Chain A
């Protein structure tokens, strides 16, 4: 199993500093990204899912730092294991890694694409900057093939068009084409379909499934939508206030949620087809201020199972069957209560 792991993150802590205050955006996150699998990271806004992705890409803003922990990229070739957390943000090694080995697609393709260059130019630039031996004509040829692969209609014409001439769904396809241009081993997708309509979202999902199967790409998908998780995920990690509070395979986590937060989250979404009679139970309160975190378990103030012990310290990781991990002191009771 371990030889499938492309990126392993161990006990990662990323902190942000503003005005002498420190936001512990990620506070001890561990996970493995495996080739040919989709890992979905799910959580509400502000829980640290995007920070996890930007930490891996070393795209963090200036006033933030990886304090502790490691991110190791298993390149599988002569470069061996690369310790990403030790590289400088703008170092040559990191720049070589970004795009070629680990590529990222963003939520809003309009702001991620350069409006003054054609789509074809932008994809060719990416190819040529990572492999100097490719000629311009060759790069264009490859860009054309990529656009065709990503299902863009009429690629011959589209390649010379500017981003504003593309529709939202097509821009996202162009972004994916650009990300896939160097055959990366890992694709990090940060809410790639949040800005898109559902019918277009379905098209993008189909495309990502295709990438996973045909290119054996490891996909790390960040989302806030439990529906997306159920559709796409092989593995799931649920985040809350900077910690992964539950993780495991999709069946384990979604069928037998063992953390009160996961359980409450699943209960709070209306499910299509169950009509107006279903009960949806909101989670009480709201997410705490990141500068005034609860001392113990982060979910304790909103949790139905909270007890004295929860207020003292963040619970340890408890391993259940298989790969199922949960961070809750009273997980046995939660489990007994069923779904």
Chain B
């Protein structure tokens, strides 16, 4: 892993990204306040990596994914994508350029049932993007879609069937095939395996891993399931109320957990191993509302280490090094925690 770091080339750089949704009320629809879904995110996604994005519901992970795709307009900040002809800010692209960008960035949604048109056959669903992006003849499209279906371990003939004829796992594989049909570089998987049964989940996870190798893809893998994200990701970013609280290599995050929120999150996960030592840190209360987030560190109301400074000052995401490997943490007591975690070994 360590030598990998040298050859890292950024693909997408996110700087100070904020996505707020206005809350309107009253007759004139006056804006009362904002839901601060994504609040000041700095993140670099490197070519060929899988970045896991984890957090509880309402922490802004999906909003971040959709903002990258320009499905939501960001309030502030920039997203710089490395196109073949140089870096450009995604937000500043005009409609035609955005089409080009969409060719590079694709998304796989959580619920395959609702993301496929029930009255279209699989061929119809998959051929639209191909038509738009220049595969003109029907024969070519049929061949391409057939190849894709085979790539996701399904049979060619399935392209003339309707979505209801497939099981959940198969539909999700069609969703993946659709995302891949125009050869994207970056695929955003938004809870792509959460709706599937465990035995099917493993099939889809292994498929995603295989496709990444074959097609040289970069994934942003959004999920709430830490065991899954640890299995598939190279790096993991943990989000809490619109901010990234911890970011590091996947195994590093597990071995040296620094942020108190990540510690609690990891300890809360039921592990499918009966001999696993249970050392649960119970968090009190619920995630505060993103409409009115707490001052200072967003986590301070539920944190055991909370001091005066946490209530007033927002901790920045800072870079630390643990045994020579980089680790980003946003906590006033990061250094203290690093020392404690390293001593415990």
Q: A197-B57, A199-B265 are in contact. Are A255 and B206 (CB under 8 A)?
A: no
* Cross-chain contact A170 with B271 (CB below 8 angstroms): no
Q: A230-B274, A270-B227, A286-B169 are in contact. Are A202 and B233 (CB under 8 A)?
A: no
A-contacting 9-mer, from B64-72, B81-89, B119-127, B279-287? B279-287
A-contacting 9-mer, from B8-16, B136-144, B195-203? B195-203
Q: A272-B266, A275-B250 are in contact. Are A197 and B227 (CB under 8 A)?
A: no
User: For residue A269, which residue of chain B has the nearest CB?
Assistant: B272
How many interface residues does chain A have, given as a range?
35 or more
* Cross-chain contact B169 with A269 (CB below 8 angstroms): no
* Of listed A200, A227, A268, A272, residue having the most chain B CB within 10 A: A272
* Cross-chain contact B201 with A170 (CB below 8 angstroms): no
A-contact 0/1 string along B132-169, CB 8 Å cutoff: 00000000000000000000000000000000000101
B-contacting 9-mer, from A130-138, A277-285, A306-314? A277-285
Judge if B211 is at the interface, Cβ distance under 8 Å.
Answer: no
Q: Which residues of A contact B203 (CB under 8 A)?
A: 282
User: For residue A278, which residue of chain B has the nearest CB?
Assistant: B231
User: For residue A153, which residue of chain B has the nearest CB?
Assistant: B285
User: Contact partner of A226 among B265, B272, B286, CB < 8 A?
Assistant: B272
Q: Which residues of A contact B202 (CB under 8 A)?
A: 268-270, 280-283
* Cross-chain contact B287 with A197 (CB below 8 angstroms): yes
A199 CA to B59 CA, complexed, in Å: 13
Judge if A75 is at the interface, Cβ distance under 8 Å.
Answer: no
A45 CA to B197 CA, complexed, in Å: 7
* Cross-chain contact B230 with A203 (CB below 8 angstroms): no
* Cross-chain contact B271 with A271 (CB below 8 angstroms): yes
User: For residue B270, which residue of chain A has the nearest CB?
Assistant: A227
Taking the nearest CB of chain A, how far is it from the CB of B16, in angstroms?
A: 27
* Cross-chain contact A275 with B270 (CB below 8 angstroms): no
Judge if A321 is at the interface, Cβ distance under 8 Å.
Answer: no
User: Contact partner of B206 among A266, A275, A280, CB < 8 A?
Assistant: A280
Judge if A141 is at the interface, Cβ distance under 8 Å.
Answer: no
Q: Which residues of A contact B269 (CB under 8 A)?
A: 198, 227, 272
* Cross-chain contact B228 with A270 (CB below 8 angstroms): yes
Taking the nearest CB of chain A, how far is it from the CB of B259, in angstroms?
A: 13
* Cross-chain contact A198 with B56 (CB below 8 angstroms): yes
B-contact 0/1 string along A282-308, CB 8 Å cutoff: 110011000000000000000000000
Taking the nearest CB of chain B, how far is it from the CB of A48, in angstroms?
A: 14
Interface positions of B from 260 to 308, Cβ below 8 Å from A: 264-274, 276, 278, 280, 282-283, 285-287
Q: Which residues of A contact B169 (CB under 8 A)?
A: 286
* Cross-chain contact A276 with B254 (CB below 8 angstroms): no
* Cross-chain contact B271 with A272 (CB below 8 angstroms): yes
Judge if A231 is at the interface, Cβ distance under 8 Å.
Answer: yes
Judge if B224 is at the interface, Cβ distance under 8 Å.
Answer: yes
Q: Which DSSP category, helix, strand, loop or mixed, fits chain A's interface?
A: helix
Judge if A182 is at the interface, Cβ distance under 8 Å.
Answer: no
A244 CA to B268 CA, complexed, in Å: 29
B-contact 0/1 string along A224-243, CB 8 Å cutoff: 11111111100000000000
User: For residue A279, which residue of chain B has the nearest CB?
Assistant: B206
Interface positions of B from 159 to 210, Cβ below 8 Å from A: 167, 169-170, 197-203, 205-206
Taking the nearest CB of chain A, how far is it from the CB of B52, in angstroms?
A: 10
Taking the nearest CB of chain B, how far is it from the CB of A199, in angstroms?
A: 5
Q: Which residues of A contact B206 (CB under 8 A)?
A: 280, 282
* Cross-chain contact B264 with A44 (CB below 8 angstroms): no
A275 CA to B264 CA, complexed, in Å: 19
Judge if B43 is at the interface, Cβ distance under 8 Å.
Answer: no
* Cross-chain contact A269 with B227 (CB below 8 angstroms): yes
Q: Which residues of B contact A286 (CB under 8 A)?
A: 167, 169-170, 199-200
Taking the nearest CB of chain B, how far is it from the CB of A172, in angstroms?
A: 11
* Cross-chain contact B224 with A227 (CB below 8 angstroms): no
User: For residue A268, which residue of chain B has the nearest CB?
Assistant: B202
Judge if A66 is at the interface, Cβ distance under 8 Å.
Answer: no
Judge if A273 is at the interface, Cβ distance under 8 Å.
Answer: yes
Judge if B98 is at the interface, Cβ distance under 8 Å.
Answer: no
A202 CA to B200 CA, complexed, in Å: 25
* Cross-chain contact B274 with A227 (CB below 8 angstroms): no
Judge if A94 is at the interface, Cβ distance under 8 Å.
Answer: no
Q: Which residues of A contact B285 (CB under 8 A)?
A: 153
* Cross-chain contact B56 with A272 (CB below 8 angstroms): no
Judge if A201 is at the interface, Cβ distance under 8 Å.
Answer: yes
A286 CA to B202 CA, complexed, in Å: 12
User: Contact partner of B274 among A202, A254, A281, CB < 8 A?
Assistant: A254
Q: Which residues of B contact A25 (CB under 8 A)?
A: none
User: Contact partner of B272 among A45, A169, A202, A271, CB < 8 A?
Assistant: A271
A251 CA to B275 CA, complexed, in Å: 9
* Cross-chain contact A203 with B283 (CB below 8 angstroms): yes
Taking the nearest CB of chain A, how far is it from the CB of B340, in angstroms?
A: 19
Q: Which residues of B contact A167 (CB under 8 A)?
A: 286
Q: Which residues of B contact A180 (CB under 8 A)?
A: none
User: For residue A167, which residue of chain B has the nearest CB?
Assistant: B286
Judge if A206 is at the interface, Cβ distance under 8 Å.
Answer: yes
* Cross-chain contact B271 with A227 (CB below 8 angstroms): yes
Q: Which residues of A contact B287 (CB under 8 A)?
A: 197
Additional A-B contact list (18), CB under 8 Å, known A44-B197, A287-B197: A44-B198, A167-B286, A198-B56, A199-B265, A199-B283, A200-B286, A202-B268, A227-B271, A230-B273, A250-B274, A251-B274, A265-B199, A272-B227, A273-B276, A275-B254, A276-B233, A280-B206, A286-B200
Please list 7 pairs of residues, one from A and one from B, whose beta carbons are closer than 8 Å in the complex, sorted by A's number. Answer: A45-B197, A202-B268, A203-B283, A227-B227, A280-B206, A283-B202, A287-B197
